[in-house]
Chain A
Amino acid sequence: MLIRKSDRRRGSAKPVLAEANRPGGGLDRRTFLKRSGIAAGALAALGELALNGVRKAEAGPPAAPGAPVATRKNICTHCSVGCSVIAKVSNGVWIGQEPDYDSPINRGSHCCKGAAVRDDVLSERRLRYPVKLVNGQWMRISWETAINEIGDKLMEIRQNAGPDSVYWLGSAKFTNEAAYLNRKLAAFWGTNNSDHQARICHSTTVTGVANTWGYGAMTNSYNDIRNARTILLMGGNPAEAHPVSLQHILEGKELNRANMIVVDPRMTRTAAHATEYVRVRPGTHIATIYGMLWHIFENGWEDKEFLSQRVYGVDEIRKAAAKWNPKEVERVTGLPEAQVKHIAELFAKQKPATLIWAMGQTQFTTGTANVRASCLLLLATGNVGMPGAGANIFRGHTNVQGATDLGLDVTTLPLYYGLAEGAWRHWCRVWEVDYEWMKSRFPSKTLMETPGIPSTRWFDATLLPKDQISQPNPVQAMFVMGHGVNTITRMPEAVRGIEKLELLVVCDPYPTAWSVLSERKNGTYLLPACTSFEMEGSRTASNRSLQWGEKIVEPVFESKNDYDLMYMLARKLGFAEAMFKNIKVEYGAVSAEDILREINRGGWSTGYCGQSPERLKAHMRNQAKFDLVTLRAPKDDPEVGGDYYGLPWPCWGTPEFRHPGTPLLYNNNLSVKDGGGSFRARFGVERVVKRKVMENGQEVEREEHDNLLAEGSYSVGSDIKDGYPEFTLGVLKKLGWDKELTPQEMEIIRRVNSADPDKVSWSLDLSGGIQRVAIEHGCSPYGNGKARMIAWNLPDPIPVYREPIYTPRPDLVADYPTLPDAKQFRVPNIGFSVQKSAVDRGISKQFPLILSSGRLVEYEGGGEETRSNKWLAELKQYMYVEINPADAAQRGIKDGGWVWVTGAENSSRTRVKAMVTERVGKGVAWMPFHFAGFFEGDDLRAKYPRGADPIVLGESVNTLTTYGYDPATGMQEPKATLCQIRAA
Chain B
Amino acid sequence: MARMKFLCDADRCIDCNACVTACKNENEVPWGINRRRVVTINDGKPGERSVSMACMHCTDPPCASVCPVNCIFPTEDGVVLHNKDQCIGCGYCFYACPFGAPQYPQVGNFGSRGKMDKCTYCAGGGGPEAPGSAAEFAKYGSNRFGDGKLPLCAEMCSTKSLLAGDGDIIAQIYGERVRKRGYGSGAWGWTTAYHDDVEV
Q: Please determine if A and B sit in direct contact within the complex, based on CB atoms under 8 angstroms apart.
A: yes
A255 and B149 contacting across the interface, CB-CB below 8 Å: no
Return chain A residues, CB-CB under 8 Å to B146. 27, 54-58
CA gap between A314 and B78 in the complex, in Å = 64
Return chain A residues, CB-CB under 8 Å to B17. 111-112, 857-858, 875
CA gap between A28 and B78 in the complex, in Å = 19
B1 and A243 contacting across the interface, CB-CB below 8 Å: no
List the one stretch of B40-48, B82-90, B92-100 in contact with chain A: B40-48
Taking the closest CB of chain A, its distance from the CB of B179, in whole angstroms, is 10
Q: Which residues of chain B from 126 to 146 have a CB within 8 Å of any chain A CB?
A: 130-134, 136-137, 141-146
- B79 proximal to A (CB < 8 A): yes
Most buried by A among B17, B143, B144, B181: B17
- A800 proximal to B (CB < 8 A): no
CA gap between A54 and B133 in the complex, in Å = 14
Return chain B residues, CB-CB under 8 Å to A269. 14-16, 48, 50
B14 and A32 contacting across the interface, CB-CB below 8 Å: no
- A109 proximal to B (CB < 8 A): yes
- Assuming the contacts A40-B163, A111-B16, asked whether A254 and B124 have C-beta atoms less than 8 A apart, the reply is no
Q: Which residues of chain A from 102 to 152 have a CB within 8 Å of any chain B CB?
A: 107-116, 118-119
Return chain B residues, CB-CB under 8 Å to A243. 14, 16, 18, 158-159
CA gap between A244 and B77 in the complex, in Å = 31
Q: Closest chain A residue to B157 by CB distance? A: A109
List the one stretch of B59-67, B101-109, B167-175, B190-198 in contact with chain A: B167-175
Q: Classify chain A: how many residues form its interface, as a range.
A: 35 or more
- B70 proximal to A (CB < 8 A): no
Return chain B residues, CB-CB under 8 Å to A47. 166, 168-169
A239 and B16 contacting across the interface, CB-CB below 8 Å: yes
- Assuming the contacts A52-B75, A61-B134, A254-B180, asked whether A44 and B172 have C-beta atoms less than 8 A apart, the reply is yes
A115 and B25 contacting across the interface, CB-CB below 8 Å: yes
CA gap between A253 and B130 in the complex, in Å = 46
- A878 proximal to B (CB < 8 A): no
- A751 proximal to B (CB < 8 A): no
CA gap between A874 and B50 in the complex, in Å = 19
Q: Annotate A249-265 by CB proximity to B: 1 below 8 A, 0 otherwise.
A: 01101110100000000
CA gap between A116 and B165 in the complex, in Å = 23
B150 and A57 contacting across the interface, CB-CB below 8 Å: no
Q: Closest chain B residue to A26 by CB distance? A: B148
CA gap between A96 and B132 in the complex, in Å = 14
Return chain B residues, CB-CB under 8 Å to A272. 14, 48-50
- A518 proximal to B (CB < 8 A): no
Of B31, B74, B137, B177, which is within 8 A of A62 by CB?
B137
Return chain B residues, CB-CB under 8 Å to A97. 22, 25-26, 152, 156
Return chain B residues, CB-CB under 8 Å to A1. 173, 176-177, 180
CA gap between A808 and B93 in the complex, in Å = 53
A16 and B148 contacting across the interface, CB-CB below 8 Å: yes
- B2 proximal to A (CB < 8 A): yes
B48 and A56 contacting across the interface, CB-CB below 8 Å: no
Q: Which residues of chain A from 32 to 78 have a CB within 8 Å of any chain B CB?
A: 32-33, 35-37, 39-42, 44, 46-62, 64-65
A36 and B149 contacting across the interface, CB-CB below 8 Å: no
- Assuming the contacts A25-B147, A110-B158, A243-B159, asked whether A46 and B172 have C-beta atoms less than 8 A apart, the reply is yes
CA gap between A254 and B176 in the complex, in Å = 11
Taking the closest CB of chain A, its distance from the CB of B78, in whole angstroms, is 8
B137 and A40 contacting across the interface, CB-CB below 8 Å: no
Return chain A residues, CB-CB under 8 Å to B136. 61
CA gap between A111 and B154 in the complex, in Å = 12
Of B11, B14, B132, B133, which is within 8 A of A270 by CB?
B14
Q: Annotate A175-201 by CB proximity to B: 1 below 8 A, 0 otherwise.
A: 000000000000000000000000000
The SS class assigned to the A binding surface is loop
Of B43, B130, B148, which is within 8 A of A29 by CB?
B148
Taking the closest CB of chain B, its distance from the CB of A65, in whole angstroms, is 8
B21 and A872 contacting across the interface, CB-CB below 8 Å: yes
- Assuming the contacts A52-B1, A61-B133, asked whether A240 and B16 have C-beta atoms less than 8 A apart, the reply is yes
Return chain B residues, CB-CB under 8 Å to A41. 160
CA gap between A247 and B77 in the complex, in Å = 29
- Assuming the contacts A112-B21, A270-B14, asked whether A55 and B76 have C-beta atoms less than 8 A apart, the reply is no
A108 and B48 contacting across the interface, CB-CB below 8 Å: no
Q: Closest chain B residue to A917 by CB distance? A: B44
A109 and B18 contacting across the interface, CB-CB below 8 Å: yes
- B123 proximal to A (CB < 8 A): yes
Q: Annotate A666-688 by CB proximity to B: 1 below 8 A, 0 otherwise.
A: 00000000000000000000000
- A99 proximal to B (CB < 8 A): yes
- Assuming the contacts A36-B150, A246-B158, asked whether A46 and B168 have C-beta atoms less than 8 A apart, the reply is yes
- B12 proximal to A (CB < 8 A): yes
Of A33, A50, A61, which is within 8 A of B132 by CB?
A61
CA gap between A920 and B142 in the complex, in Å = 41
Taking the closest CB of chain A, its distance from the CB of B153, in whole angstroms, is 8
Q: Annotate A1-41 by CB proximity to B: 1 below 8 A, 0 otherwise.
A: 10000000000000010011000011111011101110111
Q: Closest chain A residue to B24 by CB distance? A: A871
Return chain A residues, CB-CB under 8 Å to B142. 61, 96
Q: Which residues of chain A from 621 to 676 have a CB within 8 Å of any chain B CB?
A: none
- A918 proximal to B (CB < 8 A): yes
Return chain A residues, CB-CB under 8 Å to B144. 20, 57
Return chain B residues, CB-CB under 8 Å to A875. 17, 20-21
Q: Annotate A899-943 by CB proximity to B: 1 below 8 A, 0 otherwise.
A: 000000000000000000111100000000000000000000000
- A384 proximal to B (CB < 8 A): no
Of B11, B18, B131, which is within 8 A of A273 by CB?
B11
- A267 proximal to B (CB < 8 A): yes
B148 and A28 contacting across the interface, CB-CB below 8 Å: yes
A110 and B1 contacting across the interface, CB-CB below 8 Å: no
- A870 proximal to B (CB < 8 A): yes
Of B48, B75, B137, B158, which is within 8 A of A53 by CB?
B75
A27 and B156 contacting across the interface, CB-CB below 8 Å: no
CA gap between A871 and B154 in the complex, in Å = 17
Of B11, B77, B137, B163, which is within 8 A of A54 by CB?
B77
Q: Closest chain A residue to B180 by CB distance? A: A254
Return chain B residues, CB-CB under 8 Å to A53. 74-79
B1 and A50 contacting across the interface, CB-CB below 8 Å: yes
- Assuming the contacts A47-B166, A114-B18, asked whether A59 and B148 have C-beta atoms less than 8 A apart, the reply is no
Closest 3 CB pairs of A and B: A53-B75, A36-B165, A57-B146
A-B contact pairs, 30 of them (CB 8 A): A25-B148, A32-B148, A36-B166, A37-B169, A37-B173, A39-B160, A42-B176, A44-B173, A49-B166, A51-B2, A52-B1, A52-B77, A53-B74, A56-B147, A57-B144, A58-B132, A61-B124, A61-B132, A97-B26, A108-B156, A112-B21, A115-B22, A247-B159, A250-B12, A272-B49, A870-B31, A872-B21, A917-B43, A917-B44, A920-B44
A interface list, Cβ under 8 A from B: 1, 16, 19-20, 25-29, 31-33, 35-37, 39-42, 44, 46-62, 64-65, 96-97, 99, 107-116, 118-119, 239-240, 243-244, 246-247, 250-251, 253-255, 257, 267, 269-270, 272-273, 277, 857-858, 870-872, 874-875, 917-920
